[in-house]
Structure 1
């Protein structure tokens, strides 16, 4: 079974503001469900954060700690951040998209991949948890941005 889940939410801030926070790996642990640690382990091909950069994350998911590395495949601030796993027990492709909306920004997260090895039997459960988590991520992203405005 392949996982392909997405969630979206309209956040009442401009895309540049939403993307600046969400696309900064240093905020991953603040708004992304289960992430306990995020560390930039490789800079982009032209330095800093962008295409080619790699972020190593430790996540607590379904009762386990999982370490994985995501490489930035596409980066178009403030519109798109697309990352693929390069070291992970669960191959994944994560896309964050931000577009203008009459009420602020339409923020979307899409997670695709397929659990391999020991995780394969858990695919349906993983899909439900991922869908729930990315919905919560967007809620928490809005909450964090609202807190930083106050």
Structure 2
């Protein structure tokens, strides 16, 4: 089974401000559901964070610890951050996009992935949980960008 979930939210702040926070891997644990730790484990070819960089995340999902590595496939500040898993329990593709909107920024998160083993059995629950998590992520992203504590 394949999961393909998208959430979007209009955030009343400029795209550059929202993207600067969301595209900084050091903020992952602050606004992304279940992420306990994120670490830049491989820099982009030119150094720092960009295409080819890898971030190792430790998360908890459905009561299980998950360690996975996302490689940056596209990085077009402030519009797009596209990442694919290169290590972890299941294939995953995560895309953040930030488009100008009359009321600020239209922020979107799309998560796609396959399910095997334990995750195949839990696929329907996972799809609902992913949808709920990324919806809350966008809410927390708005709060963090506005300088409020995420909740």
- Deviations for 1:56-98, whole angstroms, at most 9, x for unmatched residues? 0000110011000000000000000000000010210000000
Q: Which ranges of structure 2 fall in alignment gaps of 5 or more residues?
A: none
Q: Which ranges of structure 1 fall in alignment gaps of 5 or more residues?
A: none
Q: Which residue is equivalent to 1:83?
A: 83
How many pairs align? Answer: 148
- Deviations for 1:12-65, whole angstroms, at most 9, x for unmatched residues? 110000000000000000000000000000001111100000000000110011
Q: Which residue is equivalent to 2:10?
A: 10
Instruction: Extract structure 1 runs of 4+ deviating beyond 6 A.
Output: none
Please give the residue correspondences for 1:1-150 in structure 2 after superposition, counting only pairs within 5 Å. 1-147=1-147
- Deviations for 1:98-147, whole angstroms, at most 9, x for unmatched residues? 00000000000000011112211111110000000000000000011112
Distance 1:111 1:17 in 2: 22
Distance 2:145 2:97 in 1: 17
* CA RMSD, Structure 1 to Structure 2 (Å): 0.8
CA contact (8 A) 1:91 1:116 kept: no
Distance 1:21 1:146 in 2: 10
Distance 2:47 2:109 in 1: 25
Instruction: Give the structure-1-normalised TM-score.
Output: 0.97
